[in-house]
Amino acid sequence: MKTNQHISRINDVLYFIHQDISHPLLAKDLANIAAYSEQHFHRIFKSVVGESVHFYIRRIRMEFAANQLMFDSKSSILDIANKSGFSSLSSFSRAFKFTFSMSPGQWRNHDHQYQRKSLLVDQEIAANYQRLYKMETPKHKLVELPARHVAYVRHQGYDRSIANAWHTLKAWANIEGRNFSEQFGLHHSNPTWVELNKCRYVACVEIDCPILRRGVVNSMTIPAGLHAVFKLEGKYGELLPQLSHILEHWLPSSGYKMQSTPAYVHYQMNQFLTEGEEFILSFCLPISLFR
């Protein structure tokens, strides 16, 4: 049975993993971060996350690699393998083919425009995707964004159940007397090929002093850095198609390189907390000017 302490310690591990997936992520080192024996760590991690630590790390590395192969045509497959945490091209290719049923080279040359996209399984999102497919890409600004110290609740699934994470975070903020106005949502997954119920989301609220009691709610820092910032608005069901349009149409031709830190949204109006499910937000895509 997982406890708040289990969740808190595993969240520390997840934060460490996502800071640099190219780093050797050995179970014994991750167990030390969680302050568990290695054997106990494996059991607790699976209990909290729902999959083994080995499978989780391989999956997020594959998701990152798939994005890079699709959106960064200049980097070699070996470079992408190294950035994804693999020391050899052969081991990377085996893992990639196991995950996506095609080689990295085939994935890079595959016409993703006509593949069956995971987000289209949801009929509401699919209808908006078709309606917005030929939308004009919103104008963007290049902004050096500051680091954000946030309290957060992790959630799995890109659907209306995200509201549960926000209500948990709002209840915590009320109890703690915290400001709840600066809200952020981290999008770890690309729903083009990651099943919606497996996509990883993090509901965050900016804080100005440390959290003393951790459990379901923990704290971390959203990294600073250069971002392409897009102003978006609409209703629930329209956001994922808009994000997909930016990634599929704008990014490959932009000349920029997407970084490994997660993209996030900065809410001015949060569709999971408004009665009309409306959103006004800034989509912040971490990029580099250099290939």
pLDDT digits (tens, 9 = 90+) for 212-227: 888 889 999 999 999 9
pTM (2 d.p.): 0.86
Out of 177-191, 231-245, 250-264, least confident range? 250-264
In the structure, what pLDDT confidence band is assigned to residue 114 with cuts at 50, 70 and 90? very low
pLDDT per position as a tens digit, 36-69: 999 999 999 999 999 999 999 999 899 889 888 8
Q: Would the pLDDT of 268 be above 90? A: yes
Q: Which of 65-69, 119-123, 175-179, 262-266 has the lowest mean pLDDT?
A: 119-123
Q: What is the pLDDT of residue 195?
A: 86
- Please report, rounded to a whole number, the percentage of residues in the chain having pLDDT higher than 90: 59
CA distance 233 to 273: 15
Please compute the mean of the pLDDT values over residues 119-147 and round it to a whole number.
82
Q: Look over the chain and give the mean of its residue pLDDT values, rounded to a whole number.
A: 89
Residue 63: Cβ-neighbour burial (10 angstroms; 0-12, 13-18, 19+): buried
pLDDT at residue 151 in the model: 96
pLDDT at 26 over 90: yes
What is the model's pLDDT at position 94?
93
Q: What is the largest CA-CA distance in the chain?
A: 53
* 73 pLDDT more than 90: no
C-beta separation of 205 from 182 below 8 A: yes
